[in-house]
Amino acid sequence: MTKINVQKAEGKLGVLVVGLGAVSTTFMTGVLMVRKGLAKPVGSMTQYDKIRVGRGADKKYLHYNEIVSMPSLNDIVFGAWDVYPANAYESAINCEVLKEKDIEPVKDELVKIVPMKAAFDKNYAKRLDGNNVKDCKDRWDMVEQIREDIRKFKAETGASRLVVLWAASTEIYVPVDEKIHYHLADLEAAMKADDREHVAPSMCYAYAALKEGAPFIMGAPNTTVDIPAMWELAEQTKLPIAGKDFKTGQTLVKSGFSPILGTRCLGLSGWFSTNILGNRDGLVLDEPANFHTKEVSKLSTLETILKPDVQPDLYGHGNDEDTQYYHKVRINYYPPRNDNKEGWDNIDIFGWMGYPMQIKINFLCRDSILAAPLCLDLVLLSDLAHRAGRYGIQRFLSFFLKAPMHDYTQGEEAVNHLYQQYTMLKNEIRELGGYEADEEID
């Protein structure tokens, strides 16, 4: 097998995060605490997971950094944009995800992470009301200002490589429009024409990142890099893109539990999912237009795992049209819970001779505690892909994402099955390490 030339992870890795809220400050604080030996990076695949390489007598189980060159956590330097001017320390305290005793030891470093002014359009997140916002003439000016921020950050920190990660709020839903979103020239023309309806602020961040040589990761369900125009730009700049929406709580459960029903050939009549959440994300999602964006990403999981056309007896009944099980997702803003999200899943299944049964799952999770290790893994693995010369959609990162990107223009279907996604991840690491990508997806 030909060994892929993966550049060594040398020098500093700049991590620029859009949004300095609960998720990103938990991510940053955790990395800084782990560096000091005061915390453990629990939940991070890149720090804990071991992958089998080789077979038979040659079989070994190795950490990712033993297979491929990976940056040390000491190599990471952080920067951010946010609509609120609070630095990372103030924001971490205000978000109340972590206890003060877990923030104070790295206060000096967090205080220095001061957010740059955000490229923001209130129409895309009506519930947010920050004043640390850029004054942009139009969408093209927005792009140029973000590009300048990226160049400045790189120069000031001496970072040799960059990754830009969106950990900000869910924007209102932007339907894909072939006239604007299918060709890069059309998207650029729309930016220059200040087409605010079709060009979301997140698209400006993604465009700027790719133009400045940084892989881009979309951690929300926004229509951002999952459009052909951005794929064209990623190909042109030879950069990796990944998205969308961190797979943290309920969808993680769904993508891992639904294969049990499929493998055991049990029927599904309906799956009702509801959530209560009280942080800034919950506040933004309380707006119907923003919730719709999230709903689309959450609803896409089951349908690619339990398929009515493949098993009509098991999955072809349940809703009004009687062609598929009923699938409903709800998110409710509930301030007392803050970041401690609760997800309920009520699953109506049936077995032998059609007899009904029920499954109830109640996941009392901490949103940012689950998202922080995903941020770390997505950043490190996107940087790895870049150093390996991989560009465009990084399908091997689907494991970390609710609505994995795929080329829908060619009828491609996203892989949402958690264990198939894990196989894709392992195979990519093996291949980049010069080993055989020896597992198949059935």
pLDDT at residue 189, as a whole number: 98
Helix axes 22-35, 88-95, angle to 10 degrees: 110
In a domain, 64, yes or no: yes
Who's near 56: CB < 8 A, 6+ residues apart? none
Evaluate whether residue 2 is within a structural domain: no
Q: Determine the residue type at 163.
A: V
Query: How high does pLDDT run on average in the chain?
Result: 94
pLDDT (average), residues 56-73: 97
Percentage above 90 pLDDT, the chain: 85
What pLDDT sits at residue 366?
93
Considering only CA atoms, give the Rg of the chain.
21
Q: 302 and 426: one domain?
A: no
Residues 131 and 24 in one domain: yes
Mean pLDDT computed over 399-412 = 94
Domain boundary, last residue among 343, 364, 385? 364
The answer to whether residue 7 sits within a structural domain is: no
**Is the pLDDT confidence value at 374 over 60?**
yes
> Residue 1: pLDDT band by 50, 70, 90 thresholds?
low
The pLDDT tens digits for 184-214 are 999 999 999 999 999 999 999 999 999 999 9
CATH number at residue 426: 3.40.50.720
pLDDT by residue (tens digit) across 280-309? Answer: 777 777 787 777 776 776 667 898 999 999
pLDDT at 320: 53
Task: State the Cα–Cα distance between residues 343 and 369, nearest whole angstrom.
Answer: 15
Q: Are 382 and 425 in contact (CB under 8 A)?
A: no
In a domain, 402, yes or no: yes
What total of structural domains would you count in the chain? 2
Best CA proximity match to 304, nearest among 246, 263, 259: 259
Q: How far, in Å, CA of 242 to CA of 383, rounded?
A: 11
Same domain for 179 and 281, yes or no, is: no
Tell me: do 153 and 37 sit in the same domain: yes
Lowest mean pLDDT among 93-97, 289-293, 405-409, 427-431: 289-293
Helices (H), 96-197: 107-111, 139-157, 178-181, 184-192
Whether 257 shows a pLDDT value over 80: the answer reads yes
Across 370-388, average pLDDT: 98
Rounded CA separation 411/99 (Å): 47
Q: Is residue 437 part of a domain?
A: no
- Do 68 and 155 sit in the same domain of this protein? yes
The answer, yes or no, to whether residue 256 has pLDDT greater than 80, is yes
438 occurs within a structural domain: no
Q: Residues 127, 204: one domain?
A: yes
pLDDT band per the 50, 70, 90 thresholds, residue 278: confident
Pairwise CA distance, residues 297 & 244, whole Å: 8
Domain-embedded: residue 37: yes
369, pLDDT greater than 90: yes
Q: Are 236 and 256 contained in the same domain?
A: no
Higher pLDDT, 294 or 428: 428
118-164 per-position pLDDT tens digit: 999 999 998 888 999 999 999 999 999 999 999 999 999 999 999 99
pLDDT of residue 319: 57
**Residue 379 domain flag:** yes
Q: Could you tell me the pTM of the whole model?
A: 0.95
In the predicted structure, residue 98 carries a pLDDT above the cut 70: yes
Task: Please indicate, yes or no, whether residues 206 and 325 belong to a single structural domain of this protein.
Answer: no
- Residue 285: per-residue pLDDT: 73
Backbone angles phi, psi at 415, to 5 degrees: -90, 115
The 3-state DSSP class for residue 350 equals strand
344, 364, 384 - which closes a domain: 364
* Predicted confidence (pLDDT) per residue in 221-253, tens digit: 999 999 999 999 999 999 999 999 999 988 999
User: H or E stretch including 34?
Assistant: helix 22-35
Residues 413 and 375 in one domain: yes
Note whether 358 and 240 are same-domain residues: no
* Per-residue tokens: 362: 């109640």
Residues 214 and 350 in one domain: no
User: The tokens 């792009």 sit on which residue?
Assistant: 143
Identify whether residues 330 and 372 lie together within a single domain. no
List 246's β-bridge partners, or say none.
401
Which CATH number do you get for residue 341?
A: 3.30.360.10
Q: Over range 341-355, report the average pLDDT.
A: 95
Please give the Cα distance from 298 to 301 (Å, whole number). 6
List of long-range contacts for 136-139, beta carbons under 8 Å, 24+ apart: 137/194, 138/191, 138/192, 138/193, 138/194, 139/190, 139/191, 139/192, 139/194, 139/195, 139/196, 139/199, 139/204
Last residue of a domain, one of 364, 384, 415: 364
C-beta of residue 305 within 8 angstroms of C-beta of residue 442: no
The DSSP line for 293-318 is: HHHHHHHHHHHTTS-TTT-HHHHS-S
CA distance 222 to 346: 27
Of residues 428, 408, 425, the one with CA closest to residue 417:
425
Q: Name the residue range of residue 290's domain.
A: 250-364
Report the pLDDT value the prediction gives residue 292, as an integer from 0 to 100: 76
